[in-house]
Amino acid sequence: MAITWEQIDRWVQLSGTLKNNKDNEGILRREICKEIFGDKVGKFTEKQLLDLVPPGQPHTLHLELVGKSVTSLKMDEAVLQELKNKGKLSEAAEACFVRKLEIKEGPLRKIPKDDPVWAAITESPGMPTLEVKVLKNED
């Protein structure tokens, strides 16, 4: 399939409005969920029934809103290590943490492809990036 002007034009339009739409969606979602959750804090799911009549419509819509409150936890590795060194970290508490290996791509790319370390690595495609530049407009 050949790339068409319509595809490029539509992509440029969508990518131009994507960030703005995503930001606005996030703001509205937070506002709505704040109304659903009230003062409740933590990780939970809350449901609310809502009857609304959309402008210009004769019928009432009966809606169920389901909001899921999400929290994130951050660990201070230095404090954790200090607790462990002082013997104040139980086995049960230590089992709550996992250290995740990360790949440093710069040094890895310098290792030959026949090195055994490559057997432990799987490379899979991610979301590509695309940039469109008008080099010349022949009017």
Can you spell out the DSSP letters for 33-44? HHHHHTT--SSE
Per-residue pLDDT at 31: 93
67: which 2 tokens?
Answer: 């909001």
pLDDT at 95 over 70: yes
Per-residue pLDDT at 16: 86
Give pLDDT tens digits for 56-93. 988 898 999 999 999 888 888 899 999 999 999 888 99
Closest CA to 11 of 125, 128, 139: 128
CB 25 within 8 A of CB 33: no
CB 45 within 8 A of CB 67: yes
Non-local (6+) Cβ contacts of 85 within 8 A are none
pLDDT band at 35 (very low <50, low <70, confident <90, very high): very high
pLDDT at 133 over 80: no
